[in-house]
Chain A
């Protein structure tokens, strides 16, 4: 079942590859949408039958037995929400791509491959398999940014993205190998390593292993100061590329913390939890403040991603502060961190797609070039406003559910860092209100093309159909979060127990 979910998009992509490229663009995108719907349906089926404890839908085949590498898939409450997020976001991007005209065949095939890689990463229970998908995602995203971005600068940004995150993945590989060598018998299997807990004693070796893993994952998440690849990559990427990059690829780093770093290195995690907390808080505050100073709407959203991922890091860090907090608080912080991953994927995905709509209409991301658009494009303004309020953590949307859990769970163990992190939601409120005001309120002004004024139409049906479901899902999670939390909470509690042992 999981193999089907993972490889179904690639299979469809392989079939599309055989078709001639001169066929209509609608055909390719239509097939992509159909494939996405099937994949989402399969994920829903898995969701409905997930066991409450442990891994479900496990598949294990020997791959390179001599090196302890196996093809091992499985999902639990930590990975399934992200697997579902992947399916939802790719489907949204497929719908959004109905308006894509440039080299549609390669575009669709590339995204299908990227979906396989992303799903594979979240389903992988073997470190080498995880690493393989981790690296492939970088390669494929490189082509998305370089091939469909905004011109020459996109290729430079793509190269920067590739080299920086690839370097990060090498650190990750180093950590993975260190884990492999520490375990007796040597293995890359994640559940086996979690059970064996080879570095339970802590010490220098465990610390260095955690450092390598942490740096590798921190680059991808990204946390301050490893974030500088993110703003240019987002600014130059196409709307769908940005949505996937922010919505899915960033989660790979954050997911690595809960899947690898915390359960496999509990002693080290406890020892350095305060460092993690501080990195998280710095990301929260720094990301929010730098975002406040941006005038480019995509750069601004990119920096708010750093802010939002900072809450994830804060939450998982607080889960390691065993002294001074009880199990409920730590489980709450961990659940909040995982919820934040899902929430950020939905909301920021929607925001990036909407930024794409803006760019398509006005030809620029510079917010100073616009004003009063609400009069001309009321539906676009409404969608953007909903996404903005969701992103600033307004209750009723998923962001609040996530952040409230992180704050409430973390305050007892880390009062001062958490109190500082709470100010992040005030700064994000300020920056989103400012952005709404600049773009949509006040007297009407649009960036005029040379000659005639731009037509500036409101959101089209395909664009609205791509964005609205993401926001609707964020709303549902914000009001009725139990269906999601029922899945995450047992796994989060299990993880907290693994960290505390």
Chain B
């Protein structure tokens, strides 16, 4: 029952809020109602984490909906609930986002994530998974008058749904392979070649949702959504769902033999390459988005090598850190009207509370000890080292890159403000509301302390790994700071857009992945669609119309030719009969002697005939 409440409350409550928004004159009830519901969900989540309930209900024939909270889920439900509450409180401080449509959709979205992480069978997982995708569309396109936001929302939904098709196939493969309940825990027992289909489907779906290579590009566009949406999408939900799923099915990945290494390498590659993409960004939200892909890469890496608790630790540490960073970026966006790094110079000095919390988040992201991501990442890397040195080295490289991009962001916000009128994308409010500041403080605590807590009682890494990565991170961070400052000092960084930091075009454009997807998938599909539509109209449709016309023409032809021919035969028969009749009238003269003559000729003819018969006989 607890589980139904935990998942049902945000789903139903959110849907009702959206619905009520269409009926009510004013939507002022939405923000308080949302915060209230969010608090309730947090309470239920904590209760569920303690009580570890399980529930099941029949859905399809032999395929139940199973929900349960185990160790992994317990961590996740609490994380989701905390971030949800933080986001709802923050959004209550932004007038644009106090509407029922926003609050309700956020609740449905978070409810879907809760179902995803508590689902024990494929059916509820897939359902919630897709609902999350659809609500992410509604949230990214929240400012629906902005065509760019709407386009980005579509890209996000279609990209993740393309990957989701893998889960549909995985479900079918599980059934075909004999796991008729579709229980996630039984997936390694799927028989025959089907186990590979199931694993491949799950991997594709998870990589798509987690914005790993090659799907990363959708996350870039998703930045068009409001900042609280980014905070939610990028930390505890959506992208985290993919990583969570891989952690959940780590035994399945292991059974196949190929899926584990593949996933590990994709995660490691994403950690490095998207880290470099983050370095190349000049927009704070874009930088954070790319860093999300990179950090999620470590969780995916952990799933690939079977390090489930380590991956979960990284997930929690990252969720706290990243939601904090996005909310801080959002607070500045509202206050200063920009998210460009150039425009944010001096932001931390002007708003010291936001600046301080942002600094905690950025240092954690950089992997500076003793903050959370330092421990999280190293826990993963320690698990990796047991399997593969090469993967470990790539992971360390990713850690260095992480220090670079984090310090880049931090450096800008702590610079003195530029003189002159700054450029901004939206009207600056000039202040940060208290409702916005409160969640930042709330999130700064776990962003700082989760790691230390794990070192004490959790799946902590060894001292050597911790020391290696700490030294690397500190050195890289210090070097980044020094290089940036030297450039500024040397006057090589002119005022205006910071072209110097944009890096190469390929990295700045997220490796051009979106263009590739458009060229290879979207455009050919649309071209095929138009070609088929033309075929449908011009060939199939016309063939049907043509055959109908041919029937009409045939009718006309029969009318003109066939009818006259048949009629002609009838006429000829009638004419023949008339002619015969005329001939038959000729002997009827009325003259007796002529009849006598006819009679004698007839008798003679008969006599001749009789004679002939007798002779022949």
Contacts and interface: CB of A to CB of B under 8 A. Distances in A.
B554 interface: no
Contact of A289 (B123, B134, B528): B528
B150 A437 contact: yes
A290 B150 contact: no
B154 interface: yes
A292 interface: yes
Q: Name the residue among A292, A405, A411 with the largest chain B CB count within 10 angstroms.
A: A411
Contacts of A329: 175-176
B564 interface: no
Given A289-B525, A328-B175, A395-B131, A433 B60 contact: no
Nearest to B158: A430
B504 to A, nearest CB: 32
Interface stretch (A185-193, A354-362, A396-404): A396-404
A441 B61 contact: no
B171 A442 contact: no
Contact of B22 (A286, A379, A426): A379
A401 B131 contact: no
A485 B61 CA distance: 8
B165 A426 contact: yes
A170 interface: no
Chain B, interface residues (CB within 8 Å), range: 35 or more
B172 interface: yes
B22 A400 contact: no
Contacts of A423: 165
A408 B127 contact: no
B145 A289 contact: no
Contacts of A292: 525-526, 529
A412 B176 contact: yes
B131 A394 contact: yes
Interface string B144-172: 11010011001001100110010011011
B172 A408 contact: yes
B107 to A, nearest CB: 14
B141 A441 contact: yes
A441 B150 contact: yes
A394 B128 CA distance: 10
A496 B409 CA distance: 63
A172 B131 CA distance: 42
Contacts of A164: 544
Interface stretch (A14-22, A119-127, A342-350, A370-378): A370-378
Q: Name the residue among A160, A331, A415 with the largest chain B CB count within 10 angstroms.
A: A415
A148 to B, nearest CB: 24
Interface in B508-551: 525-526, 528-530, 532-533, 536, 540-541, 544-545, 548
B130 interface: yes
B130 A400 contact: yes
A427 B171 contact: no
A374 B165 contact: no
A294 interface: yes
A316 to B, nearest CB: 16
A372 B144 CA distance: 8
Contacts of B175: 328-329, 332, 408-409, 411-412
Contacts of B180: 328
B62 interface: yes
A440 B151 CA distance: 13
Contact of B144 (A293, A441, A485): A441
A335 interface: yes
Given A225-B540, A290-B533, A425-B165, A481 B154 contact: no
A290 B529 contact: yes
A111 interface: no
A482 interface: yes
Q: Name the residue among B173, B175, B180, B545 with the largest chain A CB count within 10 angstroms.
A: B175
B131 A429 contact: no
B59 A411 contact: no
A166 interface: no
A429 B158 contact: yes
Interface in A32-46: none
A446 interface: no
A433 B522 CA distance: 14
Contacts of B172: 407-412, 418
B145 A443 contact: yes
Given A293-B533, A382-B22, A400-B127, A375 B145 contact: yes
A335 B60 CA distance: 9
Nearest to A389: B134
A382 B20 CA distance: 12
A407 B529 contact: no
A271 interface: no
Nearest to B173: A411
Contact of B161 (A289, A325, A378, A429): A429
A228 interface: yes
Given A229-B544, A441-B145, A293 B532 contact: yes
Given A293-B532, A423-B165, A395 B144 contact: no
Given A328-B175, A411-B172, A395 B128 contact: yes
Contact of A395 (B130, B145, B530): B130
A294 B533 contact: yes
A293 B534 CA distance: 9
A382 B22 CA distance: 9
Nearest to A382: B22
A442 B62 CA distance: 45
B332 interface: no
A379 B197 CA distance: 43
A228 B168 CA distance: 31
A489 B61 contact: yes
B106 interface: no
Contacts of A275: none
B58 interface: yes
Contacts of A485: 60-61
B298 interface: no
A290 B131 contact: no
Given A289-B528, A395-B130, A433 B157 contact: yes
Contacts of B182: 408
B404 interface: no
A419 B60 contact: no
B529 A293 contact: yes
B533 A433 contact: no
B158 A374 contact: no
Contacts of A177: none
A267 B545 CA distance: 36
B540 A228 contact: yes
B60 A407 contact: no
A481 B544 contact: no
B126 interface: yes
A404 B167 CA distance: 10
Nearest to A285: B532
Nearest to B147: A442
Contacts of A419: 169
A354 to B, nearest CB: 15
A408 B536 CA distance: 30
B60 A401 contact: yes
Contacts of A322: none
B59 to A, nearest CB: 7
Interface of A: 160, 163-164, 225, 228-229, 286, 289-290, 292-294, 325, 328-329, 331-332, 335, 372, 374-375, 378-379, 382, 389, 394-396, 400-401, 404-405, 407-412, 415, 418-419, 422-423, 425-427, 429-430, 433-434, 437, 440-443, 481-482, 485, 489
Given A404-B60, A425-B165, A426-B165, 7 more contacts: A228-B540, A332-B63, A374-B144, A415-B176, A419-B169, A440-B144, A485-B60
22 contacts: A225-B540, A228-B541, A289-B529, A289-B532, A290-B536, A328-B61, A332-B61, A335-B61, A372-B144, A396-B127, A396-B131, A407-B168, A410-B172, A411-B176, A415-B176, A425-B168, A429-B161, A430-B525, A437-B154, A440-B144, A443-B145, A481-B59
The 9 closest A-B pairs by CB, nearest first: A411-B172, A412-B176, A395-B127, A293-B533, A292-B529, A293-B529, A289-B529, A441-B144, A293-B530
